[in-house]
Amino acid sequence: MTFWELLDDAQRAAVTAAGTVRRFGKGTVIIREGDRGGWVLVLTRGRVKVVAAGPGGHQAVLSVRGPGDMLGEMAALDDRPRSATVTAIEPVTGLVIPPDRLTRLLTEHQSINAVFLRIVTGRLRYANERRLEHGDAGTAQRLASLLVDLYTRYCDTDGETLTLRMSQSELAGLISASREAVTRALRTLREEGVVSTGRQRLVVHDIAALRRAAT
C-alpha cells in the first residue's frame, strides 16, 4: 500500500495542511541525485521514475512511483545528499512538504510518523528481496515479476489493462538486465499475447499469464 492509502482521513488532512501543491510537466527532474534538501513529495497525480547512477556512469532505474507514493524520505531522515534522481514520466501533481513542516508533522502526529517509518522500512525490505530475486532468476522471470508488481500497484482488478510509458532500457535498468535480454523476453511475451509494445510503451493484457511466468 502507498503512504496515502495507509493514512486515515484526519491524518490526510494534517499532511495536506503541511504541504504545498506543486505541478511538474512530463520530463521534469523533480529531485536530482547528489542535491541536498530534506523536503518530501507526496504524489497525488501522475507517475515518476527513480534513477540512480551505477558504476561507470550507468543509469539504473530503481522504481516507478505513482499516486499516493512518497518521495525523498531518505534524505529527510538522514540529512544526506539525495541518493537518486526522480523524473516525471507524465504530468505530475503532488504535495511538497518542507523540512521544518515535516519535522513538526511527524513530531505532533505520532501515528503519521509510524506510517512514515513503515514506508521506509518496507522499501528497504523490498530492495533486499529484489536483490535476492535478481541473483536466482533469469531475465524473463525477473521481467514478469516486475510487471506483476507494477500491475498490482496500479490496477484494482485482474480484468484491467495496464499501460506503462517506459522504454526497454528503463525496464532493463529496473531488473538489472541488458536491453538485449529484455528485448528477447518481451518478444516472447508479445508472441504469446501477454503484452504488446510500442515506442516507449508497454501494455499488459494477460496478468494471469504474467503471474505464471514470474514463478
- Per-residue pLDDT tens digits for 51-109: 887 655 556 677 888 999 999 988 887 778 888 899 998 899 999 999 999 999 999 99
pLDDT at 187: 93
CATH class of 9-134: mainly beta
Q: Flag whether pLDDT at 24 surpasses 60.
A: yes
- Per-residue pLDDT tens digits for 160-196: 888 888 888 888 877 778 889 999 999 999 999 999 9
Of 46, 53, 54, the closest CA to residue 71 belongs to 46
- Strand, helix or coil for residue 212: helix
Q: Flag whether pLDDT at 135 surpasses 50.
A: no
Per-residue pLDDT band at 136 (split at 50, 70, 90): very low
Whether the CB-CB separation of 106 and 112 falls below 8 Å is answered with yes
Distance of alpha carbon 174 from alpha carbon 186, whole angstroms: 14
- Per-residue pLDDT tens digits for 196-212: 998 888 999 999 999 99
Q: Flag whether pLDDT at 11 surpasses 80.
A: yes
- Strand, helix or coil for residue 88: strand
Residue ranges of the chain assigned to CATH 1.10.10.10:
138-214
pLDDT at 80: 83
Residues 138-214, CATH architecture: Orthogonal Bundle (1.10)
Beta strands in the chain (DSSP E): 20-24, 29-31, 40-45, 48-53, 59-65, 70-71, 85-88, 92-97, 162-164, 195-198, 201-204
Helices 9-18 and 110-136 pack at an angle, to 10 degrees, of 90
pLDDT at 86: 92
Residue ranges of the chain assigned to CATH 2.60.120.10:
9-134
Mean predicted confidence (pLDDT) in 113-125: 84
